[in-house]
Chains A and B, each alone.
Chain A
Amino acid sequence: MNLPILNTLASLVQDQKVAVPSDPTAEGTYWFPVQASTLAEKSDWTFYYIYWVSAFFTALIVAAMVFMAIRYRYRKGVWEGEASPGHSWTLEITWSIIPFLLTIVMWWSGFKSYMYSDTVPPDAYTIQVTAQQWSWEFEYPNGAKTYKELHLPVDTDVTFVMKSKDVIHGFWIPAFRVKKDVVPGRYTKTWAHPTMEGQYTLFCTEYCGTNHSQMMVQVTVEDQDSFDKWVAAKADPSAGLTDVEYGKQIWSQQCIACHSNDGSVVIGPSWKGTWGTEREFEDGSSAIMDENYILNSIVDPNSQLVKGYPPAMPPYKDLSQDQVDGLIAYIKSLGN
């Protein structure tokens, strides 16, 4: 929604960006991992406020219950309770107003920290995130793409523009307290300002099928210089690699979730010993595995569905020529 009044209201609830020095000695607490982003402090404050209010009232209620169960315990001959008021407006109002006032703080501070995490800074360093069953792809502004790892520069705003290729996934970095669903058919956005160098974990957090619990990615936060070097190197992932090595790298990032290289069946056919063999398809036709077969399998996988396997593979239309060449070389190297 873009009504001016809402923007004004939004600016009332956004805090100033806070620079927090990196503190490698910080540890998590009983309830939380480390506070590795500017959001974490705000989110945790609200949590602890609710926590202490809750702990207080739970203790109060349980103590009252135990006290009264003992103090007013049944005694033979006492067939009913003592005469006492069955109702008290004073009590009802008191025990409605006090909780109400306490919850206002929760509600408001929660809204503030939500708006903070939901208001994506314009012009921040933007990473394109694509989720699919069951892996991630991160694309950096310089064109670099990574799959099993995510690197971020410390003390910088980073925006994530996200979409899914298939079903709803969830993007969660607990150390940052950042979470947003990743949806097919539209973009969702979130952002973070990492404050501590270190290694964290990104989880998929919206159930997405068989390997939902195996989409974890290591998140590395490092100083700007190291990050710049790393991302520059990643822009040309084939640098220094032979075709076969490059193909193997792509396989290990994007294909391994479903295709093994050792003969075992994961979801789709194993690649071992398949080059040059005759592939039988669901519709009764067949073809020899050659370069064109592999290309077709990548961009239109269900048009030649190998018999006995589910039509589970999405098309990969964005692979470059070099990447396809690499995959072909790698499959060849796995025997025929």
Chain B
Amino acid sequence: MFRRHVATLGALAGVCALAVTGCGSRAASVASSGSSGSGDTVVQIGVDSPLTGSLQAPGQGLRYSAQLAVNIANKEKEVPGVTFQLVAKDDEATASIGEQNATAFVADSGVVGVVGPMNSSVAQSEQSVFNAANMVEVSPATTNPSLSQGPNWKTAPSRPYKSFFRDITTDAVQGPFAADYVYKTLGIHTVATVDDGQTYGVGLVETFTQEFTRLGGKVTVAQTATPTTTDYTSVISAIRSSSAQLVYYGGSYPAGAPLTKQLKAGGLNIPEMGGDGNDDPTYIRTAGSAANGDYATLPGAALTSLSTAKTFISEYQAANFPVQYGIYGGTTYDATWSLILAVKTALSADGGKMPSADTFRSQVEGAEQNVSFNGVTGPVSFDKYGDTGDRVITMYKIQNGSWGDGVYSAAFAG
């Protein structure tokens, strides 16, 4: 009998372990070095992104791109009398940790606004916290449409949080753009879809499926996995017995790369197409030669093809940051810059004298809505939902082990 008690204890301990790894590790807050000399007012800008875990590569790129914007604003004295300082927090791509970070940012009266997060699910948990404090959150990477246009964004869009902004095109454009490309350009009319069960992945597959079936295409298999799934054998046997000629994946590369690898190992020589979540060099490293011929879309034009991004790229390289700026580098720089300009506008309306933190935050929120400038990725401004007007998406195809500069880029009318 005693043995069974121990086994029960063990099971209990297992549950405890689950809970501990789920939310135990507090995100470390890293205050970046910003020299506040000559009696300047220090204004802090928060950054929230995954700095550890499987999505750390684009997350770190996001953080350093924001750092670059802050460094340049300080160097050029963009806002006279103000020295900006970056405060980076790690959300581990986990909604609950993001919410803790948001609470900490709001509680810190020195922080005026936040750039981030990277994941739609994290944004969902942070929005209400920031909104209650009238604190601007401008995301350079989250693409789920409901974040800015509410859960009924298809039929009755309405903005749920006036403090949430983003300068990246949503999946309301990204999914249909991919569907259009698959149906018309590739001439493929039957596909299988797999998502990772997260806000971003499910939403992306939904918008893709809707447009694809509207065009006359057929989705033969629709599967849901998890963000940490590495074994797709049962999904693949379902795809094998269907006549799908392409797999559309909604999720991020740590789970997307094993999918394509196992597809090809399973004798299915059909490409996998994903959204911005799949677009990372690690995807190719993990999947090896199986990745060749796969596709991924990325909102915005390719940075390397933009004349406006040349300075950003060379400045970033010159700054010797430890990681590449990644796929959200351009939008992050612009998002940070929009916040800097909003601070500038708000401060000059106050006659250069900083009011209390609460008042200043809501003033910055108002100024952010009316920001308009030419950024790295093109003109930046926000519509009545806090979204960007930019509808350009680029399709990338892996050839010879590289994502290349994109095979097709266009503004998608919808």
A binds B: no
A binding-site residues for B, Cβ under 8 Å: none
Chain B residues engaging chain A, CB cutoff 8 angstroms: none
